Structure formats: structure tokens, C-alpha cells
Structure 1
Amino acid sequence: MSPVSLIARDELRLMRRNRVAVIAFALLVLLTLVAVVTSWGHQRAVAEVRARHQQAAEQAFDTQPNRHPHRVVHYGHFIYRPLGPLAAFDPGVDPYTGNSMFLEGHRQNTANFGDVRQSSLLIRFGQLTPAFVLQTVAPLLLIFLGYGAVARERERGTLRPLMLQGASCIQIIAGKVGALGLVAFLAGLPAMLGFALIAGQPGAQALPIAAIALGYGLYLALWVVLILLISAVTRRSRDALLALLALWTVVVVLLPRVAPDVASATIPLSNRLQTDIAVARDLRAMGDSHNPDDPHFAAFKRSVLDRYGVKRVEDLPVNYKGLLGMEGERMTSELFDRYAAQSNDAQARQNALVRGIGLLSPAIAVRATSMAAAGTDFAGHRRFLEQAEAYRYDLVQRLNRLQAEAVSYANDTAEDADADRRKRVSAGNWRKLPGFRFRLPDDTSLAAAALPGLLVLAGWLAVATAALVFITRRLGVR
């Protein structure tokens, strides 16, 4: 048997004798299995609830009675964001951003009903998911199992006897890396088995699955190398443990919590009240469609009359009020889109700053990789908002067009006792309107979004490995 195998076997034997470590490992496996089961069950329950509410919302919208189309514009419609198959492994920002939207005319609403807003503050630290266990708990277990791997040999004076028996420094470190690497593999195996179960659902894509598996493989391998590196540069096991715990606290707990606060302070983001006030101010400046002397809408009226070759709106072959509604919706939507773009740009710059801080924290990098590949990051939330707004605008304009074509201007402006009945259109028109269907990106796009995080993890691993090799070569002369 090679010296590397002998050293690895001896290291594993020492780990097995550590009852605390064995119990901790068993608890980690149990915690991972609980996380897989609960996260998968929660995801399926949430998906079922959202689908049921979406069906109820569509049924309520389709079963409206005969109505004036503009009343349907203000009646509105609820839509719900469906979860992707990998959201059970890493829900990402979904619990924070909300999962439903109310669509109505003349307004652009935001998503509501995030899980965090309806749960205790404990959920803000991290949900019990397989991703959370691998990102936070697994490195801590590896630290307690491997902190003394090299420092213990130096502390006991057994490092040089090992070398005198023919084992080189490289072989000693390689054996210990192999032992701790095997423990890391076994620690991550239940989560990966759960991930394979989750990824086996319909709709799961191969490239994002591979990106997530590779990301967590690099992350755990990095912790193995970092633990051996710190253990090799310290002379006492206690010092190695304290240094590794400090590193874990900063890299896994502190930086991921501080980075968003730093980004928010550096790149301010207008809150909902400020945005609403600014939008209301700009809406007043845009003009009033009910004012015949308003410059913009007076010019719009002239252009409509010229297009149809008539002198009065009463002579138009279509309902002028419907055309006016379409023009007003176009203008207000452009205003909403401008403010939404400003908000999205600010949040994108905040996320870029967090990713920059992620160069100092592999935990941020693996989290970004996991969420991007699962489609549960900010870009995924933004896709939902953009598709929801495109659907809202199309829905409202279809209703405005229905008013222009199915309701006469004479009936629309009449005020007699029977006018309200004549203004209504058949309820069958609501069922002809298309429903909302959220379109997930293709697997290439999701994998490409995970690539920056993978590169950061690979860079960390390369630097840590080079440092470990350098320290290993100096073990024999220290």
C-alpha cells in the first residue's frame, strides 16, 4: 500500500475515534436528508397552491358577466410566478421578492406575498434547504474534522518521524487531503442525491444541473484545501481551529450578510413611496386626456381625425374613447417602464457590487452560482416582472381595442336609462383573452449566468492549492 493510502487510512481512523466528530457527521447527514425532504415538500406544496390560485383567478376573470371593457381594465387580474424544478434545491430570492402580482390598467404593480414577510425573522438567516446545508453547515463540519490534520502532527512531534520512514511532505499532505476529501464527498452525497431527485422532475435542464453540481464540488474541495493549508501553517491545533472558525465566520456568515448592506448604502434605491410620488408628478405633467385644450391629446385627436378623414369624433368608424384609452395606456406604460428600468438598473449595480465582494467570499460565489443556475436569482425575478408587465400591457390594450371596436361612441357617451346596458359587450370576450404563461430561459442561458461564480470558485481553489503546495514543500525545513 502506498504511503498516501496509509496516511489517508490512518487519518480516517483518527476521525472515527472522535465521537463528537462522528455524531456531528451523522447529524449533518440527518439534517441534509430533512432539508431535502422538507424543501421538496415545501416546493411542491407552494407550486400546487400557486397553480390552484392561478386557476381560480383565471376562472374568476373568465366568468365575469357582460361588462364595459374599461370596467374589466380596472377589474384587473392576478398572476402567480411558477417555480422552476430546481427551486426546491435553492429557492434563491423567491421568498423575499414575492410570488404574485395584481395586473390592472394605468398602474404597474410589484410582486407581493413573499414567504419572509409572512414568517418569523429566523427565516432571514437562511431557509433549511440542501443549498443552505452545503453552503453553511458542511464547511463547519469539515473544519472540526480536519483542523488538526497537520498541526497535530507537528504538535506531537510525529511529522519528522513520518518523513524519516520514507513519506515525503507531498505524500503526507496528499494522504490527509484524500481523507478529508472523502469525508467532504460523503458529507455532500446526501444533498447531491436529493439534488438528483429534485433534478429528475419534469422540466429540469441538464446544463444548469451540471453547473450546480460543479459549483458545490469546487466549494467543498476549496474548504478541504483551506483547512489543510491553515493546519499546515499553524503550530498548534487550537490555533488552527480558532483561525478556521474565524475564517468561516467572516467568509460564510459575515460577508454574505454585510455585502447587501454595503451595496444598498453605496447605490441608493428609491423606495415604493418615493417612486409613487415621482410617477404621480410625471403623470400630471404628461397631460390630461379629459381636457380638450391639453396640447398632447388635442394633437392626438387631430391626428386621429386626419387618419380617418373625418371632422368630428362622432363620425369615426371606431370609438374614439377606446383609441384615447390606448394612447393613454401607451404613455403611462412608457413612464412606468422608465422608472422600472431605473430601479432594475440600480438593483443590478447593487448585485454587481455584491458579486465583486464575492471575490473575497467563496460562499457568495457559490450562492450566486446556485441561484443563477436554478433560475431563482434577481435575474429570474426580473424576468417574471418583465413578462408580467408585457402581459399586462397586452391585456389592457386588447380591452381598449375591444372598447374601440365593439362599443360605439354614441353609446359610450350616452346617459339615458338604457345606456349602461348598450355599453356592455358579451362575456364571451373575456374567455378569448390569452392567459399568462411564464417562459423559463433555456439551459444554455442559465448555465452561462452561473459561469462567473464558477470562475471565482475555480480561482479560489487554484490559489489555495498553489499556497498549499508551497507550504507543503517547506514542511521539511521548518
Structure 2
Amino acid sequence: MNQLLLIAASEWRYWLQSRLALGGALIFLLLFVVTSLLSALRMEAENHSRGHQQTEAENTFLSQPDRHPHRMVHYGHYLFRTPAPLATFDPGLDTVTGQSIFLEGHRQNTVMFAESAASADFGGLSWLSPALVYQLFAPLIIILLGYGSIAREREAAVLAPLLAIGISGRKLIAGKALALQSFVLLLLCPLVSSCALAMGEGESPVALLLLFGLYFVYLTLWLGLTLLASTLLTKRSTVLLTMIGLWLGFTLVLPSIAVNSSSSANVAAGKIESDLTMLADLRKLGDGHNANDPAFKKLRSDLLKKYGVERIEDLPVNYRGIVALSAEKKLTNVLNDYADARMAAELQQEHQLENYGWFTPALAIALASRSIAGTDLAHYHHFQREAENVRFSFVQGLNRAHAESLSYLDDINRSKDEESWQRARVDASHWQVLEKYQFQTTDISKRVASASTSIQKLIIWMLITFVILLWRSGKISL
């Protein structure tokens, strides 16, 4: 153990003398601070803006005067997806997916994007986040520190005396790894600060521990790859060029190829094509605005039989409201089927992308990090499903008010004159069917399940690297 500590201490002395460790740590810290500040400002502005707009939308809906309930169905409501607590560290898909949606009767609208100026305000660094600093630049700093670990000793003719005095190759590698591992822990200190801030915003401690563990495994993997290259190759220049090429391939080239390949291999139907097919299916359900549509003939006969009357005017409920309730339910089932199919196609593309994690750990860490942070595709789908639940709930609540609080005769005669129009309104208290909404990340167990495949890939990558390193360290030669 003493020999391991001496080897690690010797490595640190070299780094400090050459200012490698100090320079690397300062560069990384500067990048992290700048990106954290930009990301925090962006997310704070987004959180405040979306939260404020959500409150305004709710207050506007609830403050509407007495109206015909179906007018409120079409008046609609907005929902906004506020950023997750860990979005400051890893915004994930937040900047490339919609954040607000307009809810109304008879249709599911597309989630809308924020204004383009939101990212332009931060210039060219708007795409960079603290998570990307760890995924892209932390491995590069580890490479710059560790590429000469063994090759340097070989070039300086120090390796032979070390082996001669009884220091085995494995012990030498272990000492170098200990030094690099301590530097990895130093690099992870800023991550702890981000996690502490997220915990203050209500994030689960389990999520924070998992995030720390993910990046620990990822950077340890790069540590192992760097030491392995330094062990296999004889010259430092060759090691450095090899590792820089590996870094470029793993972090930039292969992820881009993976994204393009996944998109082209699983082509989803276009919006226009899907909408046309969906409209054809919706027409078969009947027009909910037309109570005399033949599609509702059975509903009418069943309703008359249930209440023992012969005319819809004698029903104790408003037949037009009952038609609206039935039509909206059938229509929503069809809309949800198409929405589920679209989400399944998007998930299929992501699963295809996940498979490329076997070829590049950078992709595996990116997907796992987004899942744990709650900024991945699953959470975007989660928002869409929650929005649909809110839409269906308040629309059906208004349709029930239409059926139960407005007489059929007043409803069909509402266009006769002003007095008739006033009688066809219901009290504004019925607008209370709208509940307050705030987007929340899913339970940590669901996030872990979503990230499990990518986490397994990272661990397997690390284990294979260190098994090869352990085998090769016993064969170190001059």
C-alpha cells in the first residue's frame, strides 16, 4: 500500500511541477462555472416565465364570465412544462422539444416551442451545459494528464529500474490509476455543488447519488482507456494522438452517426400523413356538434328508453350535452391511439440510438444522464400524457355542465334573441373543473428503469477496459 501511495504521490508531483493538474483543473473549473452560470440563468428565466404563464392561463380561464359551456370547451387552456430541478446541470431535450401546449375540445394540439430568442441571448455557448462539459471536456483533461503515465517512464529509461527493484507492472499501473482517480474525484466536486442546488429545489437524493455515480464510472472508464493506451504504446506522442482520435470518435463522430442512422432506420409517418389518416377515422365517429347525426341514433334510443320518455325534449338532461360527452370520449380514444403510436415510433428511434452505446460510452452517459435528470424523451412524453389528461378532464367537466345545468329547449333556442342567448349560459362556477397544474419529474424508480440499459453499458465498458488493463499490466516490458 505504501508503494501505491508513493507512486501516486510521485505522479502528482510531476503534474504540479509541469502545471498539468493545475492547468487542467482550472480550465475545467472555468468551463463548468461559465456553463453553469449560463444554464442557471437560462433555466431560472424559463422556470419563472413558464410558471408565470401557467398561473396567468389558469387565472384567465377561471375568471371568464357566465357563458355557454361549449364556448368554454373551445376557449381552451394552456399548459407549460417547467424545467426539472436537475435541468440546470443537464437540460437534455428541454431546448429542442416543445414546452407549452394549447388544450381545447375535439383535438390534441402539438406541443409548441419557446421563442427562438431564448437561446440566442446566450450566444454561441447556449448549446453547452455542465453535463456536456463532463461528457466532452473532462475526458480530454484526463487524457492530457494520463497519456504519458507509462510511456513517459519508458522514454526516460525509468521503467527498467522500477521493475528491477520489485515494483510489478500491476502495482505501477495501480499507483498511476490511484493518482488519476483522485484527480477524477477532484473533477467531480463541482457536480456535487450542482446536486446540492437541485436538492434544495426538491430533487431526490437518490437521483443525485446516481448522477454522481454515473459520471464517476464514465470518467473512470476514460482513466482506464488512457492508462491502457499508455501501456500498449511506446511513445507519448503516439499515445496522445491515439487517445485524441479515440476521444473525437467516441464523443463527436460516433454519436452523430448514431443519431442519423437511428432516424433513417426508423422513419416515423409525417404529421400531414398521420393527420389525414386520423381525420378519416374521426369522421366515422360522427359530429359531436350535430345531435341529429346518425352516429348517435343508438345513443338517443338508449337514453329515451332509460328515462322512459318518447321525446328528447322530455329528458331530465340536455341531450346535446350527452352527445358532446359521448362524442368527446370516443374521439379522445382515437386521438390517444394515434398519439401512442407516434410516441412508440419515437421511443423505437431512441432504443435504436441506445444500442449504439455499445460502440461509444459518450452516448450511453448522455442518455443515462438525461433520464436521471428528468430531461429525456420519456419526460417529454410524460408531459404530453399529463396534458391530455388535463384536457379531457376539463372538457368533459364542461360537457357535464352542458348536459346537467342547461336545459335542452334553452340550448336549441339560444339564437332566437338576446334574452334566449342569456338563458343559454351557465354560471361561471362551472369553470372550476380546471385544476391547477405543475409539471413534476416522474418517480426516481421510473427514471432508473429508463436509464438502466445505458447504465449497464457504461459499467460493462468500464469492466472490460479494466480487465484488459489488468491483463496487460502483468506484461509491461521495456
Aligned AA for 1:68? H
Distance, in Å, in 2 between the alignment partners of 1:299 and 1:376 is 46
Q: Which amino acid in structure 1 is aligned with residue 432 of structure 2?
A: R
Aligned counterpart, 1:435: 436
Distance 1:49-1:298 versus aligned 2 partners, 3 A rule: same
Whether the aligned pair in 2 keeps the contact of 1:96 and 1:117 (CA below 8 Å) is no
Q: What is the match of residue 181 of structure 1?
A: 181
User: Which residue identity lines up with residue 11 of structure 1 in the other structure?
Assistant: E
Instruction: Write the letter of the residue equivalent to 1:386.
Output: R
Distance of aligned partners of 1:461 and 1:176 in 2 relative to their CA distance in 1, 3 Å threshold: same
Structure 1 counterpart of 2:424, one-letter code = K
- Residue by residue over 1:1-49, the C-alpha shift from the partner in whole angstroms, topping out at 9 and shown as x without a partner, is 8332222222222222334664343121121122333323332222111
CA positional deviation for 1:209: 1.3
Are 1:211 and 1:450, in contact at CA under 8 Å, matched by a contact in 2?
no
What is the match of residue 474 of structure 1?
475
Give the C-alpha shift of residue 274 in structure 1: 2.3
Amino acid at match of 1:347: E
Moved more, 249-258 or 218-227: 249-258
Measured after TM superposition, the shift of residue 173 of structure 1 is 0.9
Report what 1:316 is aligned to.
Answer: 315
Q: CA deviation at 1:292?
A: 7.4
TM-score, normalised to structure 1's length? 0.93
C-alpha separation between the residues in 1 aligned to 2:293 and 2:416? 28
CA distance in 2, matches of 1:439, 1:13: 48
Mapped partners of 2:170, 2:372: distance in 1: 36
Quick one: which amino acid aligns to residue 369 of structure 1?
A: A
- Say which SS state the counterpart of residue 103 (structure 1) adopts: strand
- In 1: Cα distance, 2:295 partner to 2:65 partner: 35
1:325–1:294 distance in 2 versus 1, CA, 3 Å = closer
Deviation of 1:117 after TM superposition, in Å, equals 8.6
2:411 is matched with 412
Asked if the contact 1:77–1:104 (Cα under 8 Å) also holds between the matched residues in 2, the reply is yes
- Residues 290-325 of structure 1, C-alpha deviation per residue, up to 9 Å, x if partnerless? 667754222222222222222221111111111111
Q: Residues 106, 467 of structure 1: CA spacing in aligned structure 2 closer, same or farther, 3 A cutoff?
A: same
Q: Tell whether 2:230 aligns with 1:231.
A: yes
Aligned twin of 1:251: 250
| CA offset digits 1:49-104 (Å, max 9, x no partner) | 11111111111111111111100000000111122222222122121112111100
Q: Which residue of 2 aligns with 1:17?
A: 17
- Percentage of identical aligned residues: 36
- Match of residue 84 from structure 1: 84
1:150-169 to structure 2, matched below 5 A, reads: 150-169=150-169
Matched, 1:459 2:460: yes
Is contact 2:4–2:174 with CA below 8 Å preserved after alignment? yes
Task: Please give the residue correspondences for 1:314-353 in structure 2 after superposition, counting only pairs within 5 Å.
Answer: 314-353=313-352
Q: 1:114 Cα deviation (Å)?
A: 4.3
Aligned residue in 1 for 2:422: 421
Letter in 2 for 1:65: P
Would the aligned equivalents of 1:70 and 1:403 in 2 still touch at CA under 8 Å?
A: yes
AA matched with 1:265: S
Separation (CA, whole Å) in 2 of partners of 1:353 and 1:122: 33
Deviation per residue, 1:371-408 (Å, 9 max, x gap): 11122111111111111101100110000111111111
Q: Is this contact kept in 2: 1:169–1:475, CA < 8 A? A: yes
Q: Distance in 1 between matches of 2:217 and 2:35?
A: 21
Q: C-alpha displacement at 1:240, in angstroms?
A: 1.0
Letter in 1 for 2:385: E
> For the residues of structure 1 that align with 2:442 and 2:301, how far apart are their CA atoms?
44
8 Å CA contact 2:62–2:432 kept in 1: the answer is: yes
Q: How many residues align?
A: 476
* 1:287-302 matched pairs, under 5 angstroms: 287-289=286-288, 294-302=293-301
Q: Tell me, which stretches of 5 or more residues in structure 1 are unaligned?
A: none
Matched, 1:144 2:132: no
What CA RMSD, in Å, does the superposition of the two structures yield over aligned residues?
A: 2.3
- 1:191 is aligned to 2:191: yes
